[in-house]
Structure 1
Amino acid sequence: MSKKSYDPSSVESAFYPIWEERGYFEIDGNKAIQKADKNFAIMMPPPNVTGRLHIGHSLTFTLQDIIVRYKRMDGYKTLWQPGTDHAGIATQNVVEKQLLEEGTTKEELGREKFLERVWAWKEESGGIMVGQLRKMGVSPAWSRERFTMDEGLKSAVKEAFVNLYDKGLIVRGNYMVNWCTHDGALSDIEVEYEEHNGHFYHVRYPYADGSGHIVVATTRPETYFGDTAVMVHPDDERYKALIGKKLKLPLIDREIPIIADEHVDMEFGTGMVKVTPAHDPNDYEVGKRHDLEFITVFDEKGILNDFAGEFKGLERLEARDVIVKRLEEEGFVEKIEEHVHQVGHCYRCKNVVEPYISKQWFVRAETAKGSIEKVNDGLVKFFPQHWINSYNAWMNDLRDWCISRQLWWGHRIPVFYCDDCGHEWASQQEEPEACPHCSSKNIVQDPDVLDTWFSSALWPFSTLGWGNGDPVMDKLFESDDLKNFYPNSLLITGFDILFFWVARMMLMGETFMGKLPFEHIYLHALVRDEHGQKMSKSKGNVIDPLDMVEKYSADALRFTLAVLAVQGRDIRLSEEKLELSRNFTNKLYNAAKFLQMNVETFDNLENITVTTDLGRYMQSRFNAAVVETRGFLDEYRFNDAATVLYRFLWNEFCDWGIELSKVSKESVPELGAIFKASMKLLHPFMPFMTEYLYHELSGTSLETGDSIMISRYPEAGERDMQIEAMFDVIMDAIVTVRRAKTLIDMGNQKIEEAYVKTDAVTSEAMDAYICRLGKVEKVGFVTEKMENAVSDVGEKVEVFIPTGSIDLAPILDRLEKQNVKLEKEIAKLAGMLNNERFVANAPEEVVATNREALVDAQNKQRKILDQLESLQGA
């Protein structure tokens, strides 16, 4: 270890390929240390095949890797299942944009050629994130990597669909859905709402008999052509006489009735509300109650149709201003008001989403009944616990799940239609030969594909072989993987996909496996910038994890994320915090260098008997760290575990252990063994550096020896409370002696004698440490306060330095001068702050700065006076 500082780039690039090639990440990678009947499984949230690693991914996969490495070293047969998601909308958008740049479209290519193009893109560019994850040092079972559209998972998706279809739990019908005019149907959770500065358009609707008009307000005037009624509350005295009266729609003169419905809020606006059943989810329900006509005024691309009269052919949003202008010209606009409201957007293309009636496929909400009951029975545990309330609230209000998407890329819906007899059926066959009802060969498959979340909802068990087309695998719980790893032990993911993905997996897992898919669910918060702002390119505050790996190392990034990952709290990440973690790696490197200056190689801790006082103390503190680290990891308190390791290794071992070893050279071999064991304890958090230091201190190399990652995770031994108490006194005495020496301007000089008063048991073994590190010729222990001595009080001791041979005059003179200077400064600042005119007129920051300066000066004076009192008393 001749280099001054640790070089992470060379280590990380060299070690990862060795780990992977040797199969350490696989289920039996740790076979030599596996314990019987100890299994652990966790699923990688499959990143989109279009994805690039961002800081949120880094957090998810870091926390997963920490727990996986911990369980692997603890002897568990461990499966971390990796894979990628085909990301229907996102992937199709990427390839469609490429085609547009080439001057063509998917329609011109045709479905088959387009899908060939997507698959080619996937093979060339897809899965980039998988390579980026390797830079982070994550250790999933890469040989088992799955893709949500690989052959086995395609088979599983078909089996799941046909099963639900045959039970009547998947149905097709005309429903109001969230509609993106670019990407088609979306589920509720695929709509993102943003605040928009829009308008309220108050439009006059004339009475059909010419007796006047009413005024209704709308934010979407382009939809008024689909109005089939105006409603009022049945108890609204203002309008009771109008119920049943007919109105004429402006510009097109179609007559509509005034109806009464309790849905109306009498206090809002005028208390009169237009009803557009085909373009508003609330109006949809009203329309069904009153048997109103459902008029759709634009097509799937958002182009206005015949119902819009002269505006036919205009795009819905572009038509808004044109329609309003025409209404104004004809005198139908009462007024237009500014209005801030929430507008739904497609989570992928950001297009404004419309409520739209469309024939779609749905999973019936009742499918979730079993998973809701099992969650309420306590068969899964959430971390943090409060997320169970959000889960239950959403699931109990669950509506039918729209699973069809108007795309070409994805799992084609396995439903077929007979053109001759009209029969409809679901089949796992790729291309059925004939209609099972009339034997006609004139059959077609449904053109739509399944929602991406349908296939990823099967992830916890389809990746273990369920439904993959193997007769053995299809028998539940008869494959080793299903028996060993379902239910999965743990899921770690962001809370933002609790409803996108987690709830779907709970539903499907319970439906097909009879058990919830997870025993524990850990939902982490968001990673924000140092000011608590959400990261975005527009704000310029995005932290690229790969840049941080390049600059600070993968270990530093991982450790920083872990130490900040407080359950239920957003992470505030900054480069300053990354620098602290990099400093930690250098601290460990230098500690190893120091140890090797005295002893070249070190044995494993389990192979030696620790006999020196310092060795016994450090081993006892190591055992305390083991207990705490294990306890926190078992509760997924990653930040607490990381903090324990930081405190032990930096403060206790590197600062005190190394310092104290300068007195006890014979303890160095024991400290080296303890440090090696500490690298095992730290390994799940910082895998590269711990591997490197472990081999350096062992006199081996990863190229020729076994990895630290398949060694046993440390088990806690007995703590020696007596030796800990002794060293607590030693260290407190050293600190207090040093502090007392600064009072007499002898902080860096050796003094003749010092005395320590303590209630603890003392021994001669303590003298050498205090003398050497406190720079004292002689130390004594007393039971009473000493006169004519400078004193300082620590946490466990009081120290006295006799002043008989020390000239205190210049020291007292310096302190008196400092006190006089501080008195003047305090008087000046207090005078300004007691001046009401100054406080009222000066800028706030100036007043605040002066207040801080006054407090600082007062604190300094207090310390000076304490020093004077101590020295004058001596």
Structure 2
Amino acid sequence: MSNSYEPSITEEKFYKIWEERGYFEIDSNKSIQENDKNFSIMMPPPNVTGRLHIGHALTFTLQDIITRYKRMDGYKTLWQPGTDHAGIATQNVVEKQLLAEGTTKEEIGREEFLKRAWAWKEESAGIMTSQLRKMGVSPAWKRERFTMDEGLQKSVKEAFVHLYNEGLIVRGNYMVNWCTHDGALSDIEVEHEDHEGKFYHIKYPFADGSGYVEVATTRPETYFGDTAVMVHPDDARYKDIIGKKIRLPLINREVSIIADEHVDMEFGTGVVKVTPAHDQNDYEVGKRHDLEFITVFDEKGILNEYAGEFQGLERLEARDVIVKKLQDEGFIVKIEEHKHQVGHCYRCKNIVEPYISKQWFVRKEVARKSIEKTNNGEAKFFPPHWINSYNSWMGDLRDWCISRQLWWGHQIPVFYCNKCNHEWASLKENEQECPKCKSSDIYQDLDVLDTWFSSALWPFSTLGWGHGDVSMDKLFKSEDLQNFYPNSLLITGFDILFFWVARMMMMGETFMGELPFKHIYLHALVRDEHGQKMSKSKGNVIDPLDMVEKYSADILRFTLAISAAQGRDIRMSQDKLEQNRNFTNKLYNAAKFLQMNADAFPDLKGFCIESSLGRYMLSRLNVATAEARACLDEYRFNDAATVIYRFIWNEFCDWGIELSKADKGSIIDLGAIFKESMKLLHPFMPFITEYLYHELSGTSLEESESIMVKKYPYKTKKRLKDEARFELIMDAIISIRRAKILVDLANQKIQKAYVKIDGLSDKEEEMMKPFISKLAKVEIVEFTQNKIQNSVSDISQKCETFIPTESIDLAPIITRLTKQDEKLQKEIDKLNNMLNNERFVANAPQDVLEKNREALADAINKQEKVIEQLNSLKN
């Protein structure tokens, strides 16, 4: 082995070999596959516009760990990869490219725009998948899918047409969330943010000239669409004006004052404008009171003729102009600062408007059975508290708006006849005539489907569902569907529980009759080292590819995994990455030590471990294996990583390798055990484990089979006798080292030490002596049943040790300890005086008092240890 490990060279070379040999595909582990053990997991398809961020890195690291574990454990394993067309995001990118070229999508037309979008997809999709390869992930790349590939387009049509024919997809004029740039949005695509706005108090004069009512609003630009003014029926202040008419300021259109319990009497003036076409609550009020619905701006947010002289202004830009006019005409009573929440488009951050528009909706009834089955335990959440969030959202579920005013996406498969006004949904790519009147004067709906509609089918559309021209009552169940649906596990971020997870649940149950996942693991956010959310504006973004370049894929993966406690955000820092760089160095140095003592080492399977140290380390490996497996089976990735880390570093390296220096005959045994521990670690750190496994085997990956298709370690019996012996050995070594510190001989070799342990046979004592002698640096080790006079001693958990002091000059040691005792006593007296001073305690800040109390406790603890050492030396 060379003096250092070069991850950048090794990772690129190994990944290429893995992929070329087909190790990521479902039959790659055929030699170790066990009957009827199938495992499937779906990659949350990243957007083709995206770049790998730290959240992606966490998701795909955890997915890869569990996939590699299952593959090595004999499962027929499918990790289904793919990318998402990301309708709004991709269209925005291509539109910006066109603007930079001095043109627009409207100028080049739909067909040409779609060509540009497909070209961008081809360019950018490869970027994301190449970045994933840098992370060392192992999905079945030969089965990679795209949410708009030919097969998935058929699946989407199959799903849409079925739901349409069942009356579960409907079209109508509804109030929707409207982005003047991106069109209709579903409820969860709207991000609500606190906004420092204003509360405008406006006079609405009575039509009979007898006065006015004062109406407070945050959106004066919409008052042109008011079709009523509303008060609470129980509000004594306004009982007499219910039914009266008022005139809208500036435009003088008359509307009535109505009563409705929706009004909060305590908020504002208790008088509310009703704008049914531009407010979600007013929309419901308008339906209850049969009010007129007046839309005052168009799809781009431009005010129309209802706004009078303000026609042609953009809604937000018009606000100040309208308010100034109202002030000039004496209609403004006052303007107050007002903090309130405003909805923004999750993509372009534009302010979203409630807007009445003709859209397509999936009826909420589609979700009913999936909710029932989830709560019956047919899908299990990790951590379990996420089912509460799921139920909370599903309990308030509304119809899902699935139409988008875009060109890029799955065009809605509904056709219309201009001659007879017939409407129908079709699986055909192009309809030629109306099925009702046979007219050829037909056209397809221009809108596309919400991106999440196709993504909701991902767990089964990628497995062949709906790819043939088949009807729902003759569902083709492919071999893939039989083997891999329902998926074994879903791993994704909690932030898309409602965007994606809940919708896959409803669609999977609807079309397959079963929930799509048995287990759902939702991980938390990756934050910076201070717990802050990462953002470009804060300058605290950690680019995972930069970390791969600087440290290695293995180090980044292991850092993410060992930090991924269920339900807790991850704090990412350079310190953690450096700590795990040290771990890789430890692995490398351990392998180098082993290789210095032997050319090659056997695999553990079929090899007989003969040395006592080898049997002990094998027993510890078995304990670590059992614990790691239990953790992985419960998706406690951080605990599994910690178990393996502790075994390799604390037990194998710190003890096993050091103890082997007293027993050269154990080296071959330890090499076989270390190779097995590389299999245990492999899912977390695939590259360095592959490298070290082959180095210690005396082979190379180029000429032999990969560690990734070797059998994952399995727990065997714990060897209690060997465990007990080596616990005594290590306890004695630690005890002697502590005793040596008392007499300032910590790192020096001493002539003699005694060990007092009850119940050992002569054979056991002889077996233990070389290990204690070598690691405690003692020339002669003797076992005794008596206390040794004229010695310093140390009592540990399992033994007592003694170092004779006849040849040691104790005077300077006693002098040093005495001075330490006196110095500590002065410090204790000083702190006690301060803390017993009532005036000081009354006036000092709480944090100062707390620091002094901690300092006092620390000084007392140190003094007790010094006195204990002095007593030991004097006795």
- TM-score, normalization by structure 2: 0.97
Q: Which residue of 1 aligns with 2:680?
A: 681
Q: Which residue of 2 aligns with 1:602?
A: 601
Deviation at 1:784, TM superposition (A): 4.9
Return 690-699 or 369-378, whichever deviates more. Answer: 369-378
1:165 and 2:164 are equivalent in the alignment: yes
Deviation at 1:267, TM superposition (A): 2.1
Q: Which residue of 2 aligns with 1:781?
A: 783
Separation in 1, partners of 2:679, 2:287: 66
Separation in 2, partners of 1:173, 1:856: 74
For 1:478-519, what per-residue CA distance to the aligned partner results, in whole angstroms no more than 9, with x for missing partners?
311010001100000000000000011011111111111111
Contact 1:48–1:87 (Cα < 8 Å) also in 2 = yes
Q: Secondary structure at the match of 2:369?
A: helix
Q: Which residue of 2 aligns with 1:817?
A: 819
- The count of residues paired between Structure 1 and Structure 2 equals 872
Q: Which residue of 2 aligns with 1:104?
A: 103
Q: Which residue of 2 aligns with 1:696?
A: 695
Q: Which residue of 1 aligns with 2:551?
A: 552
For 1:810-837, what per-residue CA distance to the aligned partner results, in whole angstroms no more than 9, with x for missing partners?
1101111122223334444555566677
Q: Which residue of 2 aligns with 1:136?
A: 135
Identity %: 76
Q: Which residue of 2 aligns with 1:770?
A: 772
Q: 1:864 aligns with which of 859, 863, 866?
A: 866
Q: Secondary structure at the match of 2:439?
A: coil
For 1:736-767, what per-residue CA distance to the aligned partner results, in whole angstroms no more than 9, with x for missing partners?
10011010111122223222234564622111
Q: Secondary structure at the match of 1:198?
A: strand
Q: Secondary structure at the match of 2:722?
A: helix
Q: Which residue of 2 aligns with 1:75?
A: 74
Q: Which residue of 2 aligns with 1:185?
A: 184
Q: Which residue of 2 aligns with 1:274?
A: 273
Query: Relative to structure 1, is the Cα distance of residues 231 and 731 closer, same or farther in structure 2, using a 3 angstrom cutoff?
Result: same
Query: Relative to structure 1, is the Cα distance of residues 556 and 475 closer, same or farther in structure 2, using a 3 angstrom cutoff?
Result: farther
Deviation at 1:781, TM superposition (A): 3.2
Contact 2:162–2:472 (Cα < 8 Å) also in 1 = no
Q: 1:802 aligns with which of 777, 801, 804?
A: 804
What amino acid is the match of 2:783? Answer: F
Separation in 2, partners of 1:471, 1:343: 46
Separation in 2, partners of 1:269, 1:728: 74
What amino acid is the match of 2:531? Answer: G
1:432 and 2:403 are equivalent in the alignment: no
What amino acid is the match of 1:161? Answer: F
Return 510-519 or 259-268, whichever deviates more. Answer: 259-268
Aligned 1:165-314 pairs, distance under 5 A: 165-314=164-313
Q: Secondary structure at the match of 1:270?
A: coil
What amino acid is the match of 1:436? Answer: P
Contact 1:472–1:478 (Cα < 8 Å) also in 2 = no
Q: Which residue of 1 aligns with 2:496?
A: 497
Q: Output the aligned Cα RMSD.
A: 1.8
Query: Relative to structure 1, is the Cα distance of residues 784 and 201 closer, same or farther in structure 2, using a 3 angstrom cutoff?
Result: farther
Deviation at 1:268, TM superposition (A): 2.0
Contact 1:415–1:424 (Cα < 8 Å) also in 2 = yes
Query: Relative to structure 1, is the Cα distance of residues 744 and 213 closer, same or farther in structure 2, using a 3 angstrom cutoff?
Result: same
Deviation at 1:853, TM superposition (A): 4.8
Deviation at 1:128, TM superposition (A): 1.2
1:728 and 2:753 are equivalent in the alignment: no
Separation in 2, partners of 1:685, 1:798: 41
Contact 2:465–2:477 (Cα < 8 Å) also in 1 = no
Q: Which residue of 2 aligns with 1:506?
A: 505
Deviation at 1:802, TM superposition (A): 2.8
Separation in 2, partners of 1:75, 1:540: 45
Query: Relative to structure 1, is the Cα distance of residues 32 and 771 closer, same or farther in structure 2, using a 3 angstrom cutoff?
Result: same
Q: Secondary structure at the match of 1:754?
A: strand
Q: Which residue of 1 aligns with 2:331?
A: 332
Q: Which residue of 1 aligns with 2:656?
A: 657
What amino acid is the match of 1:357? Answer: I
Deviation at 1:562, TM superposition (A): 0.5
For 1:308-338, what per-residue CA distance to the aligned partner results, in whole angstroms no more than 9, with x for missing partners?
1111111111111111111111111111111
> Gaps spanning 5+ residues in structure 2: where?
none
Q: Which residue of 1 aligns with 2:440?
A: 441
> Gaps spanning 5+ residues in structure 1: where?
none
Deviation at 1:123, TM superposition (A): 1.4
1:454 and 2:456 are equivalent in the alignment: no
Separation in 1, partners of 2:629, 2:104: 56
Aligned 1:3-152 pairs, distance under 5 A: 3=3, 5-152=4-151
Deviation at 1:695, TM superposition (A): 0.1
Q: Which residue of 1 aligns with 2:795?
A: 793
Q: Which residue of 2 aligns with 1:321?
A: 320
Deviation at 1:856, TM superposition (A): 4.2
Deviation at 1:232, TM superposition (A): 1.5
Aligned 1:474-493 pairs, distance under 5 A: 476=475, 478-493=477-492
Contact 1:202–1:336 (Cα < 8 Å) also in 2 = yes
Q: Secondary structure at the match of 1:656?
A: helix
Separation in 2, partners of 1:654, 1:708: 21
What amino acid is the match of 2:499? Answer: F
What amino acid is the match of 2:495? Answer: D
Query: Relative to structure 1, is the Cα distance of residues 49 and 217 closer, same or farther in structure 2, using a 3 angstrom cutoff?
Result: same
Contact 1:412–1:446 (Cα < 8 Å) also in 2 = yes
What amino acid is the match of 1:639? Answer: N
For 1:80-124, what per-residue CA distance to the aligned partner results, in whole angstroms no more than 9, with x for missing partners?
000000000000000000111111000000101111111111112
Deviation at 1:540, TM superposition (A): 0.7
What amino acid is the match of 2:796? Answer: G
Separation in 2, partners of 1:601, 1:720: 26
Separation in 1, partners of 2:635, 2:180: 43
Deviation at 1:598, TM superposition (A): 0.7
Return 661-670 or 789-798, whichever deviates more. Answer: 789-798
Query: Relative to structure 1, is the Cα distance of residues 279 and 473 closer, same or farther in structure 2, using a 3 angstrom cutoff?
Result: closer
Q: Which residue of 1 aligns with 2:645?
A: 646
Contact 1:528–1:573 (Cα < 8 Å) also in 2 = yes
Return 116-125 or 857-866, whichever deviates more. Answer: 857-866
For 1:775-822, what per-residue CA distance to the aligned partner results, in whole angstroms no more than 9, with x for missing partners?
122323344544433122223222222323322111101111122223
Contact 2:470–2:476 (Cα < 8 Å) also in 1 = no
Q: Which residue of 2 aligns with 1:620?
A: 619
Return 774-783 or 308-317, whichever deviates more. Answer: 774-783
Q: Which residue of 2 aligns with 1:418?
A: 417
Contact 1:467–1:474 (Cα < 8 Å) also in 2 = no
Query: Relative to structure 1, is the Cα distance of residues 9 and 352 closer, same or farther in structure 2, using a 3 angstrom cutoff?
Result: same
Contact 1:663–1:769 (Cα < 8 Å) also in 2 = yes
Separation in 2, partners of 1:111, 1:466: 30
Query: Relative to structure 1, is the Cα distance of residues 472 and 356 closer, same or farther in structure 2, using a 3 angstrom cutoff?
Result: closer
Contact 2:404–2:449 (Cα < 8 Å) also in 1 = yes
Separation in 2, partners of 1:447, 1:473: 26
Contact 2:343–2:352 (Cα < 8 Å) also in 1 = yes
Q: Secondary structure at the match of 2:51?
A: coil
Deviation at 1:693, TM superposition (A): 0.2
Q: Secondary structure at the match of 1:336?
A: strand
Q: Secondary structure at the match of 2:712?
A: coil
Query: Relative to structure 1, is the Cα distance of residues 615 and 789 closer, same or farther in structure 2, using a 3 angstrom cutoff?
Result: same
Deviation at 1:264, TM superposition (A): 1.4
Q: Which residue of 2 aligns with 1:537?
A: 536
Q: Secondary structure at the match of 2:520?
A: strand
Separation in 1, partners of 2:122, 2:773: 69
What amino acid is the match of 1:251? Answer: L
For 1:201-253, what per-residue CA distance to the aligned partner results, in whole angstroms no more than 9, with x for missing partners?
11111111111111111111111111111211212222222211111111111
Separation in 1, partners of 2:789, 2:256: 103
Separation in 2, partners of 1:323, 1:852: 64
Q: Secondary structure at the match of 1:239?
A: helix
